[in-house]
């Protein structure tokens, strides 16, 4: 059975549709067709109208509804979950505080979710959107469809230190697309080794100022690369013999601020 649109939401008349992704109509139609949408599907008033209910296909789940047995479309499903289970406060200007995910979800998924929430509630779905950039492998985006995935569990089972993996991932800004590679992992291993050496002694360079600088870096759009520069400068000073700080203070700060249990 061909996937059928039993009902659609006419969202494209909304004044704010497209403001999240900052894309033109033509760009949205192109990306929509690449990411699970179908701008040419019969019954749509606008090519960007999203699927709300799909007729049940063989070997797929389905639930009864006024439109027949089927299941909700992806975008409305997530909107409904947020509105039902996150218990929005009616007194707030938005339904929820934060919606986040990979940058590939900005359009169409989060754009559609936001538009549906406006239609259903008259309010914005989220007051803040946070999107992390893509991590690729060998020049391509990692994805299930390509089968080019590197799993953390596989790396850990092969003996890679989880803190090295975390350091490698955070060595680039979260909004910057980057490639995963063995070279990146090796580089992170060396950097973490030096920091650990600095944390193993009984004396260390002063810690209050670098910790304050790390906090400042993270306050500036979670700038982990800059925070690591501060940390590595402190480690170099410590290994060169500087004193006046607290090893435990730095350990506690790294765990609390960066999730690095070193």
Decide if pLDDT at 7 tops 50: no
> Are residues 61 and 159 both part of a single domain?
no
How many CB atoms sit inside 10 A of residue 30's CB?
Answer: 13
- Among 22-26, 145-149, 190-194, the range scoring the smallest mean pLDDT is 145-149
- pLDDT value for 140: 83
Which residue among 84, 108, 132 closes a domain?
132
59 vs 138: which has the higher pLDDT = 59
Q: In this predicted structure, which of 28-42, 90-104, 115-129, 230-244 has the lowest mean pLDDT?
A: 28-42
128-138: b or e for each residue (b if 16 or more CB lie within 10 Å)? ebebbebebee
One domain, residues 28 and 104: yes
Question: Which is more confident, 6 or 244?
Answer: 244
Domain range spanning residue 120?
5-132
Residues 99, 149: one domain? Answer: no
- Cα-flanking dihedrals φ and ψ of residue 128, to 5°? -140, 135
CATH number at residue 60: 3.40.50.620
Residue whose token pair is 């008349």: 13
How large a percentage of the chain has pLDDT more than 70? Answer: 94
**Whether residue 33 sits in one domain with residue 104:** yes
HEC assignment per residue over the chain: CCCCEEEEECCCCCCCCCCCCCCCHHHHHHHHHHCCCCCCCCCCCCCCCEEEEEECCCCCCCECCCCCCEEECHHHHHHHHHHHHCCCCCCCCEEEEEEEEEHHHHHHHHHHHHHHHHHHHCCEEEEEEEEECCEEECCEECCCCCCCCCCHHHHHHCCCCHHHHHHHHHCCCCCCCEEECHHHHHHHHHHHHHHHHHHHCCCCCCCHHHHHHHHHHHHCCCCHHHHHHHHHHHHHHHHCCCCCCCHHHHHHHHHHHHCCCC
> What is the pLDDT confidence band of residue 18, given thresholds at 50, 70 and 90?
confident
pLDDT in tens, 33-78: 888 788 888 888 889 998 889 999 999 999 999 999 999 998 999 9
Please tell me the distance from the alpha carbon of residue 151 to that of residue 19, in angstroms, as a whole number: 34
Domain at 164, CATH number: 1.20.120.640
| Residue 129 backbone zone (phi > 0: left; psi -120 to 50: alpha; other: beta) | beta
Mean pLDDT of the chain: 90
Q: Which of 75, 106, 132 is the endpoint of a domain?
A: 132
The number of distinct structural domains making up the chain is 2
Q: Of 75, 110, 132, at which residue does a domain stop?
A: 132
- CA angle (143, 144, 146) in 5-degree steps: 70
Looking from the CA of 40 toward its CB, the CA atoms found within 13 Å total 3
Q: Tokens representing 69?
A: 């047995």
Same domain (yes/no): 104, 139: no
Q: Are residues 121 and 143 in the same domain?
A: no
Q: Which residue has the tokens 């047995």?
A: 69
For residues 160 and 192, is the Cβ–Cβ distance under 8 A? no
Task: Identify whether residues 125 and 175 lie together within a single domain.
Answer: no
Are residues 213 and 97 part of one domain?
Answer: no
Residues 124 and 221 in one domain: no
Do 199 and 119 share a structural domain? no
**224, 234, 226: which is closest to 260 by C-alpha?**
224
């Amino acid at each position: 059975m061909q996937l059928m649109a039993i009902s659609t939401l006419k969202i494209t008349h909304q004044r704010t549709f497209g403001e999240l992704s900052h894309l033109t109509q033509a760009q949205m139609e192109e990306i929509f067709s690449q990411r699970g949408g179908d701008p040419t599907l019969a019954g749509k008033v606008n090519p960007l109208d999203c699927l709300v209910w799909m007729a049940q296909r063989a070997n797929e789940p389905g639930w009864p509804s006024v439109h027949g047995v089927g299941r909700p479309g992806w975008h409305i499903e997530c909107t409904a979950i947020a509105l039902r289970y996150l218990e929005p406060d009616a007194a707030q200007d938005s339904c929820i505080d934060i919606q986040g995910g990979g940058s590939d979800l900005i359009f169409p998924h989060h754009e559609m979710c936001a538009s549906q929430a406006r239609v259903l509630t008259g309010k914005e779905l989220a007051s803040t959107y946070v999107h992390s950039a893509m991590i690729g492998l060998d020049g391509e985006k990692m994805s299930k469809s390509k089968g080019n995935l590197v799993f953390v569990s596989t790396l850990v089972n092969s003996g890679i230190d989880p803190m090295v993996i975390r350091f490698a991932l955070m060595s680039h800004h979260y909004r910057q697309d980057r490639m995963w590679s063995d070279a990146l992992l090796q580089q992170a291993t060396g950097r973490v080794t030096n920091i650990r050496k600095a944390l193993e002694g009984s004396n260390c360079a002063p810690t209050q100022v670098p910790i304050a600088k790390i906090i400042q870096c993270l306050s500036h759009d979670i700038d982990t690369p800059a925070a690591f520069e501060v940390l590595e400068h402190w480690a170099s000073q410590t290994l060169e013999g500087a004193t006046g700080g607290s090893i435990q203070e730095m350990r506690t700060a790294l765990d609390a601020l960066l999730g690095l249990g070193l």
